[in-house]
Amino acid sequence: MVGDRYLTDIVYGNKNGMLTVHCSALSTEGEPTTVGLARMVEERYIGKWRSRGIAPPQHSLLPSEEILASFRHPVVDEPGTAASDNVLAS
């Protein structure tokens, strides 16, 4: 499942055994203010969970972290870049 919302798309997919990928919203134009606020809350919680070492479940279709590391480009996939934020599986 590919989704732009952590607590609706990604958590639902993970809880139901799907391989999930978080992506940026295609457009936020015309989006209700409440959805924007929900995204901010979601990002905050995800940051807290990651800082506590909570990670998404492993999936049989996803290679191990060691294998993924061998495919990462040193410039494009630096943490915090737009490219790395959009391709990491959740």
Q: Is the pLDDT of residue 66 over 80?
A: no
**Percentage of the chain lying above the pLDDT 70 cut:** 78
Residue 13 φ/ψ, nearest 5 degrees: -60, -45
Q: State pLDDT tens for residues 4-28.
A: 998 889 889 988 988 888 888 888 8
pTM over 0.85: no
| Residue 36: both structure tokens together | 């924007």
Q: Is the pLDDT of residue 85 over 60?
A: no
Q: Is the pLDDT of residue 71 over 80?
A: no
By the 8 A CB rule, do 62 and 19 touch? yes
Query: Where along the chain do its domains lie?
Result: 2-87
